[in-house]
């Protein structure tokens, strides 16, 4: 008999106290080992319409709800006695008549009339809205996975009522209707009416088959992650498509870009048994997160796993440089380059260029494009740099930058971009390639030299390069033309529009921080319109307090409320703009009595501790509850950064990336978001609402 765990079980488990969770896990182990053992107190739920629902005692008042079929035993829910029974009496587990997928379906008679959600403000009597799906056939609705008893409700629902309705539908049905409502053309679900209902792709998103005690232990160890590596069937075409050249998948935060990237790497390794695949991103922290998810996906396939390397792009550069005889590279840090620039500037003498301008011009133009001669610098298009420079001023600047380049060479130092330029040259002179395929996550923050390196690896081969990213989350790199570097993704770019991670309310608020369309330097447009979330939640709270102590008190009270609702420390993230505000965050979390860890490139999030970090390190993370603190005036956007701007025209870029930072931090939240600051507060808070 199959033993399964439903995502509804793992979600409900997290809402229990720690001691209650331990009792539930013990009972789950006993059920898997011997479901007929007399010590297990199984009781059929006679009031439930689904007569296969049973309860199992786990302590005096805790009850597991299990579904006992002919060939499968599924853990579907756990709670205190009355709540657990009430949940089961409102649901049934059945095979969908058209798709064949196992679904947990709410019984229509137990649901109150669908009402307009609270977040819709109605100042005057609203006009009668026509039904959204009145012209969609019943056959198609069934093909989308809509349960038969909900067909009439779907045919009648209006736009104002729609988000309330989708909360009652299975995920595949909700997602198809969301896409349909926003102008998309959802694919009909895979129809496998005769197969095992738990083997259907849609069923596998909510039911996990557990084969042994060790696997059960792992499944219960990460209950809130909810199958973090699940690939939606609609995304499978992107993963398995044959691309004639470089390809890119984009989408706003939470739409599953990283999952698509991981599955693409696995697909390439499986379908090319002798190939080596590189899965990379821009930081060690994100690379570690990718590796953890990859283990969840194919930890039981060592022969595939050993052919997929997961490293940050910096680590890739160092490894390959050593492997190709370059020795151990001595990387010049930003601080070293800044010092060399200051010395060279003093040697050149009188000029009007401030130190910060010199540093950003070096980083974003000279080093980024790896300019080596005066002619290169004179003729380069300074894309993303608003301050215009006539030739005579460029000549003065080049005399400074040339000195810096000579100093680096004398001391045998190289910048990271310089390292990748050398690597590209080394690879061109060597036969063979270190990787057959490269998959890049968070591609919007890769630099020019990185893209040149990828183009060298690809050699115009089909399927060699696959990128995942979001221009709205670009916080490190200036825009530049990928096509000019030999990476042309036009015609091979796809946008994901279904948000699986962030509630409708949080996503809607965060989206107000960004323009509805983002366009890259090659004219490829990423539209944020039409993006939808698959679940509702509570509206985010935006609070501006009188002083720092009032902010601390407000955050402590909010966190305490979440903990009382069942939030565990590992499900909480607290973010601030910079290192200067970290102490403010740690004092607050300490006052809330929650154990925590301060993240950096070496310290990763823990399962039993809250995570505190700057917004820059929030990328790639996700939490059930997030607090974004210290959003004060002059902190966000950073006044220290604004003060270094040499030309007012460059302010636009500063404001844009500062907005991106806040967007990244807010969209780490799944269910709950609190954003706070001290009066008068950041100007961005008004946009959040």
Q: Which two tokens stand for residue 586?
A: 């740690």
Residue 673, strand partner residues: 626
Q: Quick check: 289 and 620 in contact, CB under 8 A?
A: yes
| Residue 497: partners with Cβ closer than 8 Å, 6 or more residues away | 179, 182, 184, 251, 255, 530, 531, 532
pLDDT in tens, 292-328: 888 878 877 889 999 999 999 999 999 998 888 778 8
CA gap 325, 292 in Å, rounded = 31
List the Cα angle 168/170/173 in 5-degree steps: 105
CA gap 275, 128 in Å, rounded = 59
Read off the pLDDT band of 218 (50, 70, 90). Answer: low
pLDDT at site 71: 86
Tell me the mean pLDDT in the region 257-271. 94
Tell me the mean pLDDT in the region 608-632. 91
pLDDT at site 125: 54
pLDDT at site 552: 96
DSSP per residue, 466-514? EEEE-GGG--S-----SGGGT---TTSEEEE-EESSS-HHHHHHHHTTS
Query: 115 pLDDT exceeds 70?
Result: no
Read off the pLDDT band of 93 (50, 70, 90). Answer: very high
Least reliable range by pLDDT among 538-547, 583-592, 617-626: 617-626
pLDDT in tens, 508-543: 899 898 887 777 776 777 777 777 787 888 999 999
CA gap 432, 276 in Å, rounded = 12
pLDDT in tens, 385-439: 555 678 888 899 999 999 999 999 999 999 999 999 999 888 887 777 899 999 9
> What global pTM score does this model have?
0.76
Least reliable range by pLDDT among 107-111, 220-224, 573-577, 601-605: 220-224
pLDDT at site 121: 45
Helix orientation angle between 416-429 and 448-458, rounded to the nearest 10 degrees: 20
């Amino acid at each position: 008999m199959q033993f399964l765990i439903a995502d509804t079980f793992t979600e409900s488990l997290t809402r229990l106290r720690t001691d209650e969770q331990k009792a539930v896990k013990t009972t789950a182990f006993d059920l898997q080992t011997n479901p007929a053992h007399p010590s297990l107190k199984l009781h059929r739920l006679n009031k439930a319409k689904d007569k296969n629902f049973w309860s199992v005692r786990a302590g005096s008042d805790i009850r597991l709800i299990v579904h006992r079929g002919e060939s499968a035993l599924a853990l579907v829910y756990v709670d205190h006695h009355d709540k657990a029974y009430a949940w089961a009496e409102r649901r049934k587990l059945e095979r969908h008549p058209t798709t064949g997928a196992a679904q947990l379906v709410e019984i229509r008679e137990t649901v109150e009339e669908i009402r307009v959600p609270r977040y819709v403000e109605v100042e005057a009597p609203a006009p009668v809205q026509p039904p959204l799906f009145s012209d969609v056939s019943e056959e198609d609705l069934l093909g989308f996975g809509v349960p038969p008893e909900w067909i009439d409700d779907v045919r009648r629902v209006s736009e104002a009522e729609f988000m309330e309705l989708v909360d009652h539908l299975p995920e595949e049905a909700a997602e198809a209707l969301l896409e349909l409502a926003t102008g998309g053309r959802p694919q009909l679900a895979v129809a496998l009416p005769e197969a095992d209902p738990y083997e259907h792709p849609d069923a596998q998103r909510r039911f996990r088959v557990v084969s042994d005690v060790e696997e059960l232990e792992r499944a219960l160890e990460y209950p809130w992650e909810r199958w973090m590596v699940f690939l939606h069937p609609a995304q499978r075409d992107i993963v398995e498509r044959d691309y004639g050249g470089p390809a890119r998948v984009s989408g706003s935060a939470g739409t599953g870009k990283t999952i698509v990237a991981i599955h693409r790497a696995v697909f390439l390794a499986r379908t090319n048994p002798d190939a080596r695949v590189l899965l990379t991103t821009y930081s060690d922290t994100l690379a570690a997160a990718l590796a953890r998810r990859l283990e969840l996906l194919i930890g039981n396939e060592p022969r595939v796993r050993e052919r997929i390397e997961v490293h940050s792009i910096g680590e890739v550069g160092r490894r390959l440089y050593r492997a190709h005889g370059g020795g151990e590279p001595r990387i010049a840090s930003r601080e070293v380059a800044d010092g060399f620039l200051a010395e060279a500037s003093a040697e050149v003498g009188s000029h009007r260029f401030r130190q910060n301008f010199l540093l950003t011009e070096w980083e974003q133009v000279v080093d980024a494009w790896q300019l080596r001669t005066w002619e290169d610098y004179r003729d380069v298009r300074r894309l993303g740099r608003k301050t215009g420079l006539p030739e005579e001023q460029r000549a003065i600047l080049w005399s400074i930058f040339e000195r810096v380049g000579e100093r680096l060479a004398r001391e045998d130092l190289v910048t990271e971009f310089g390292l990748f330029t050398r690597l590209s040259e080394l690879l061109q002179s060597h036969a063979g390639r270190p990787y057959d395929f490269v998959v890049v996550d968070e591609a919007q923050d890769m630099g020019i030299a990185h893209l040149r390196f990828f183009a060298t690896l690809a050699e115009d081969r089909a399927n060699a390069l696959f990128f995942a990213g979001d221009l709205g989350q670009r916080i490190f790199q200036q825009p530049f033309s990928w096509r000019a570097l030999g990476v042309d993704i036009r015609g091979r770019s796809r946008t994901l529009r279904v948000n699986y991670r962030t509630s409708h309310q949080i996503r809607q608020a965060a989206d107000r921080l960004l323009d509805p369309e983002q366009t890259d330097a090659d004219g490829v447009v990423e539209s944020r319109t039409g993006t939808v979330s698959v679940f509702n939640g509570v509206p985010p709270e935006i609070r501006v307090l009188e002083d720092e102590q009032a902010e601390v008190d407000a955050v402590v009270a909010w966190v305490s409320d979440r903990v009382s609702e069942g939030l565990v420390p590992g499900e909480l993230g607290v973010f601030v703009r910079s290192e200067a505000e970290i102490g403010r965050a740690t004092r607050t979390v300490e006052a809330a009595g929650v154990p925590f860890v301060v993240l950096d490139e070496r310290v990763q999030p823990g399962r039993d501790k809250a995570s505190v970090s700057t917004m820059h390190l929030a990328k790639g993370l996700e939490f059930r509850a997030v607090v974004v603190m210290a959003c004060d005036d002059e902190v966000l956007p950073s006044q220290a950064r604004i003060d270094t701007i040499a030309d007012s025209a460059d302010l636009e870029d500063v404001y844009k990336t500062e907005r991106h930072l806040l967007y990244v931090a807010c969209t780490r939240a799944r269910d709950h978001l609190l954003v706070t600051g001290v009066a008068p507060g950041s100007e961005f808070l008004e946009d959040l609402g």
